[in-house]
Chains A and B, each alone.
Chain A
Amino acid sequence: MHNVLMVIRREYLDRVRKKSFWIGTLVFPVIMVVLVLGPMALTRLSSGPKRVAVVDATGRLFGPMQDELTRRGRESAPKDEKKSAPAGGLVLESVPLQGSVDATYTAIKARVNKDDLYAVIIIGDDLNSETNFRYYGRNVGDPQTQQRLESALQRAVILLRMERAEVKADPETLRKAMAGIDFETFQVSASGTESKKGFLEAYFGTFLFVFLLYMTLLLYGIAVMRGILEEKSNRIMEVLLGSLSPQELMTGKILGVGLVGLTQVGIYVATALVLPMLVPGASGAMASAFDALSPMRLLWFLIFFILGYFMYTALFAAVGSVCNSEQEAQNLQSPVIMCLVIPMVATFFFVSQPDSTVARVVSLIPLFTPMVMVMRINTLTPPLWEILLSIGLTLGFIYLLFRGVAKIFRIGILMYGKRPTVPEILRWARS
């Protein structure tokens, strides 16, 4: 026990003191921050109020359009932005008609090119003409703004048409009659409870988890493998085995690297928790990104992470122990990596059909269990007995795997020269 602790200690200190650890550890939160805050920051930067000039030949549309924009801006803006951007960051400017609409446009065209105006909207008098409404802008690749203006204008136009058609109704009734519809999406789980969630949300939430699982399992599996290869190529194995049993060495290594992993994940989680406090407004985005973070899901995730960790580091340890160099390990590690890649690539399938027979069967194959079960639990929580069965099978598999790998390790770490063939390795594991 003392010896295992000492190996854990060395592995942990050795890795945590390296610059590469900190670089690797900081890169992920930075990416996360950029992904979450970046779009918000960009929106803010570009939305110093955009001035849009409106040339309204009817003289009746500008007011309702502005009202509409303001009303919607108030509804959709986050709390802290309501005052600063009453119309959702858009400022309309009414341009008096000078002769024809085209002549008026020509007169202010220059302002569009001089940054003063974001866009110019031209409204002719004939509401039924196809070319009556025109949008001139420097940037026509901003569908969001364009769409907001369009729909605000549309409301105003419909109201005006009705008025011209002498449909008598008060504006409030008309507005209500015109309200559009949106589907509200519910997810029905096996137990019959319903939760409000869209497919894309489910997909991205789950993918985040699966990707985290994939990255960490791969990263730490390879770290264990490299460590063993390094000890072999430095010819230090035998020195260590003079004091340690191979099992102590293997266990200490796997646990030590695992502890480094937990440190790293801890830093990630801390970032996720602290970030919303530092940046007001990020909480909303974070909350939706981490919608999947219910305590129960987190617990399952943790369990499957640990199972996956032991399973894959043991496999990578076996690969490392029978190879002499990383080049040699390339071939042998690829089947192990494939076992991680396949479920990740198939995330879309599993999320869209979480209780298909294929998903249920695959989630019971120990090598795929951690990732596929996390997908299933996140989308359509399977019956408890299936989860427990998969955990049981995986634990059984890990037990057999550790016994086999310990034997491979014992023989492999002292072998130099030609790499043994796969049948040879399997024979060692059984012996």
Chain B
Amino acid sequence: MASAISVRKVHKTFGDHRAVDDLSFEVPEGVVFGLLGPNGAGKSTTIRMVMDIIRPDSGEILVLGDKPSSKVKGQIGFLPEERGLYRKMKILEMLEFQGSIKGARPAAARKEGAGWLDRLGLGEWKDRKVEELSKGMQQKVQIAAAMLGRPRLLILDEPFAGMDPVNQNFFKDLLMELNRTGVSIVFSTHQMETAEKICHSIVLIHRGKVVLDGELAAVKSRFGKNAVALEVEGDVSFLRAHPGVVQVDDYGRTLELQLAPGTDPQAILRALVDRTPVRRFEVVSPTLNAIFLDQVGDAAEVKVMREEASHA
């Protein structure tokens, strides 16, 4: 399958800081692709290099089979992490401008922009100034701007950050719909739950390096089979001493067990049944979150991630 994006042996240093360190990954065409990693992992730097906003020190990046150029950029819908609008501009004019710098004629861009505003429920606001809109509406305008010009590829940096659940859901549905029509979608996030729900493939980067990548199902099965979720009534602290159990994550009502390689989950179930009533016992593939924490985490980082997840 052709690649929407190829990143090959890319390095980027800012001063003494290695933001991206020998990074290589491929984004297949037509997929929803998650660029995952904790804050400061190099996600935004990577995206900026893909968009030719900054240039790598070394290495090669191909987008839609080509070196980055204005022509290529015209086929990409881009939503950066820092996304703003001209506050004093009317929103339809804003869209007209953003569409026109993707190569469209202003009149055509205006028409397309108006279509998107109608679709997003902002049709009546098209002659209002950006500063008059609520934050949620501004987010919708930004989304509309990224969708202009019928892009073949969407590159979204932390697209869901700061969105309320209604907008998040709306946007997610829109992305899925576009993906079904063949649009490749790449987005970065540190929210594993979202990524887990919608990604076909992922790359997890940490400190500028690839930690793991591939199709989500494959990644999960590589780490899978050895996790068990359970709900029990009595005390299960004995499990911590069980030789087949590597880790116990206590979430209060439910517990998650990571089993040692080769351990049969049935053996654990048998051991449990002897001691306490079991309400639920499920062999699960680990959540992306668990894999993420496992791969990325020393304790401090885990804490940071949990806090961020709870804020998001």
Contacts and interface: CB of A to CB of B under 8 A. Distances in A.
Contacts, number: 72
A414 B79 CA distance: 15
Nearest to A3: B101
B70 A248 contact: yes
B100 A6 contact: yes
Contacts of B51: 241-242
A2 B71 CA distance: 11
Q: Give the interface size bracket for B toward A.
A: 20 to 34
A10 B97 contact: yes
Contacts of B53: 238, 241-242, 414
A9 B82 contact: no
A15 to B, nearest CB: 11
Q: Give the interface size bracket for A toward B.
A: 20 to 34
A242 B84 contact: no
A139 interface: no
Most chain B CB within 10 A, of A7, A236, A244, is at A236
Interface in B37-91: 48, 51-54, 70, 73-74, 76, 78-89
Interface string A225-259: 00000110011111111111100100000000000
Contacts of B97: 6, 10
Interface string B99-118: 01111001000000000000
B83 A238 contact: yes
Nearest to A234: B84
B201 interface: no
Contacts of A238: 48, 53, 80-83
Given A9-B106, A245-B52, A236 B85 contact: yes
A69 to B, nearest CB: 63
A14 interface: yes
B73 to A, nearest CB: 5
B189 interface: no
Given A6-B106, A243-B74, A236 B54 contact: no
A234 B52 CA distance: 21
Contact of B86 (A9, A236, A242): A236
Contacts of A244: 70, 73, 101
B145 interface: yes
Interface in A253-284: none
Contacts of A237: 82
Nearest to B55: A410
A190 B74 CA distance: 58
B39 to A, nearest CB: 15
B191 interface: no
Contacts of B102: 243
A231 B106 CA distance: 21
A14 B73 contact: no
B98 interface: yes
A241 B101 CA distance: 10
B95 to A, nearest CB: 12
A377 B88 CA distance: 43
A7 B101 contact: yes
Contacts of B103: 2-3
Given A6-B97, A6-B100, A245-B70, A239 B106 contact: no
Contacts of A2: 103
Contacts of B73: 242-244
A2 B70 CA distance: 10
Nearest to A236: B84
Nearest to A4: B101
Nearest to A249: B101
Contact of B84 (A6, A14, A235, A245): A235
Given A9-B106, A241-B51, A242-B80, A14 B89 contact: yes
Contacts of A414: 48, 53-54
A410 B53 CA distance: 8
B89 A240 contact: no
Contacts of B74: 243
B78 A242 contact: yes
B153 to A, nearest CB: 12
> Which 8 A-B pairs give the minimum distances between C-beta atoms?
A242-B78, A235-B84, A238-B80, A234-B84, A236-B84, A235-B82, A6-B100, A243-B101
11 contacts: A9-B100, A230-B86, A235-B82, A236-B84, A236-B86, A238-B80, A238-B83, A239-B83, A240-B101, A241-B53, A410-B54
Given A238-B83, A410-B54, 8 more contacts: A3-B70, A3-B103, A7-B101, A230-B86, A234-B84, A235-B83, A239-B85, A242-B80
